[in-house]
Amino acid sequence: MRLFVLLALLLATPAAAQPVARFDWFEYRGEDAVDRANPPAPDQYRNPILQGFYPDPSVTRVGKDFYLVTSTFGYFPGIPVFHSRDLVSWTQIGNAIDRPGQLDFKQLGLSRGVFAPTIQAKAGIFYILNTCVDCGGNFVITAKNPAGPWSDPVWLPDLEGGIDPSLFFDTDGKTWILNNGPPEGTPEYQGHRAIWIQQFDLKSLKPIGPRKVLVNGGVDFSTKPIWIEGPHIFRKDGWYYLSCAEGGTAEGHSQVILRSKSVTGPYAANPTNPILTQRGLPGDRANPITSAGHAQLVTTPDGQWWATFLAVRPYADDFYSTGRETFLMPVRWENGWPRITDPGQVIPWTHARPDLPAQPAPSVPTNGGFAVRDAFDDAKLAPYWMMLRNPRSNWFTLADGALRMQARGVGLGDKGNPSFLARRQQHQNASAETVVRFAPEKDGDRAGIAVLQNDDYWFFLGLKQIEGRLVVALERREGPDAPATGEVVTTLDAGTFGIAPGNPLALRIEVRGNRYIFSYARVLGSPDVPMMAWRPLTEHTTDALTTKTAGGFVGSVFGVFAGRAE
């Protein structure tokens, strides 16, 4: 939340004069049929607990308080930090990467950057371990307060080539660091990885001593298992348990468990692995939840076991635009092994709540049907707002109840840091609305609303100057071979319905699975409480804004954008 003060300090020289777009407010609204069909009872909670692009959850408990972090890849600020006391009601309290100088995402693809963080605590210090893929490698940051500020990264070069680091604090006072890394020798097949362990010095924040492989390939090497990753060790009843994701993050995803009497092994696999998966279930089942894995187990103060993990909600087949989301399920123990789902068991949409004092609903909802309106009345944006990569200059301000953004020569397809602020799409059926005021100065100047999966796949709806005329334009980019500037799909002369440069124009993008509807309206009455007669400009049906088509690990976002031709 310190981001928007720190950005003001980022400027070395004032930016050149550029047209400025004003946004009066932004509203996100969403509700899915499954939300209405599965309302939780008073003693139940709803899955996912964090809807939208909140993948790779890591959870830890300190006393009565739970803290959770997720991946953000090339978005900034990065690594949101959540707090809860009942594992159900989660409030974002900050972002661990909230200073431009902590990491540099350069011009990396949006699905590079920060992968799979873990959060842990000991003796009043919180630790987040993470990997900045293609931008520095593995690192650890620390804080006395999980809300921040978090330290600058301390790099871990001993883990070169690895990802998904985590710590284990043993009862003898020793600390160990785990990670996914290349196997010893030459990999024998695509996706052949290993889990490594090494002792870790908390004072110097450096690994010490020899590194050792705990798992080669996966729980059954003869089957050529892929992508053993996300390792966590915990101790129970004299056993060390090693919990890992296996099978990749698509529909073959799963969670497996091994155990040993020694922290350094050898580890024997649970004979009934995996302990969590949705693979092998009927593909035509209603309202499917798929691709479940990357779990972390946590105990409540009275010893109950629960797990957070990621999964996805396709709107059809394996198509989803909401990204990988955070789910919660109880863990039961059978014959000395933990279990999250039985073979063939579907992940439930609702479940009995943990036996913990129920907390008030968060001020910003995280699941079910809801609407969130940002009036831009505060001195800083809410912590869920993000931008593409690190900012290099201060290109937006909040003042007088409005968000103002410079229209700069960085586009949505340029793999840079455009004047684009966004929030996650959290429903299959959702809408985003805003009011923009913009007076372009030359052809190519534009400002409005966008829905974006990554740099190569997006739609933009807004005001634009083309051949000296002010128009309402819809632009899109569908694929890396398309022009980075996008292509104009359709336009409407703004003057035909009374919109002149600088006049307020309402814009809306709706999504219904893979159907996108683009609308505009004149603003009648107060901009804060407008009366708008929406007019559809056009609509498109496309699976382009899904992970299946676009690739990568992120989900779609809605946001406001201002740009200009260079």
**The one catalytic residue among 24, 32, 35, 56:** 56
23 HSE (CA, 13 A, CB side):
31
Q: Which two tokens stand for residue 148?
A: 């921040």
Distant-in-sequence, close-in-space partners of 347: CB < 8 Å, separation ≥ 6: 47, 278, 289, 292, 311, 327, 329, 341
Of the residues 229, 246, 374, 478, only one is catalytic, namely: 229
- Greatest extent of the chain over all pairs of C-alpha atoms, in Å: 77
How is residue 498 annotated by DSSP? T
Closest CA to 443 of 407, 417, 469, 477: 469
- 3-state secondary structure string, 319-378? ECCCCCEEEEEECEEECCEEECCCCCCCCCCEEECCCCCCCCCCCCCCCCCEEEEECCCC
Assign 496 to helix, strand or coil. helix
Neighbours of 86 (CB within 10 A): 18
Tokens representing residue 335 in the block = 């014959």
d(CA 523, CA 509): 16
Question: Are 444 and 460 spatial neighbours (Cβ–Cβ below 8 Å)?
Answer: no
Contact 368, 60 (CB under 8 A): no
Q: Is 229 a catalytic residue?
A: yes
Strands (E), 86-162: 91-97, 113-122, 125-133, 137-143, 154-155
Tokens of 80: 């949101």
Catalytic residue at 539? no
β-strands 194-201, 175-181 pairing:
antiparallel
SS (H, E, C) 247-280: CCCCCCCEEEEEEECCCCCCCEECCCCCCEECCC
Q: Which residues are catalytic?
A: 56, 229
